[in-house]
Amino acid sequence: MPDSRRRFCARKSPAISILPLAVRDTVMEGELGQAAQQWINATLVWIGLAMVAGLTARALLPVRDRMGASATLMLGAAGSAAGLSVLSLILRSESFNPVNPVGLFASIVGACGILLALSILRSAIIEQASEESET
């Protein structure tokens, strides 16, 4: 594609038109640095792991909650961090790959623990509020 045609197409797209010219040319050509591609892949894998852990925890624990997708993702991310931290302490290993079945199980257990703690805390707060309103 000629250079002027590529620049014209980039300017027509509203999402790409706000990017600086050097970045716009890189995006249009489909080129990213190796480090950027690895970072994006790792981020997407972690988001996927967190979402699977959060959804599985919500499916396993039937608590009444009104969580949206972002709250489920945050639950999964916190559960992944907690579960994988405990797993690394148990294994006494500084380097292990958390994206495997054992890591997924630890993430789900961590998310279930956080969801259970939130449920207990929420019910205690509601119970305390109802007692105060009665008196």
Model confidence over 51-96: pLDDT tens digits? Answer: 999 999 999 988 777 788 888 899 999 999 899 888 888 888 766 6
Give the start-to-end residue ranges of the domains of the chain: 1-31, 34-134
Per-residue CA distances from 92 to 33, 97, 105 (Å): 34, 13, 17
Model confidence over 6-28: pLDDT tens digits? Answer: 444 444 555 555 555 555 555 55
Q: What is the pLDDT of residue 64?
A: 76
Burial (0-12, 13-18, 19+ Cβ within 10 Å), 107: buried
pTM score of the predicted model: 0.67
Task: Give mean pLDDT, residues 102-113.
Answer: 92
Structure token pair of residue 44: 């997407």
Q: Are 57 and 72 in contact (CB under 8 A)?
A: no
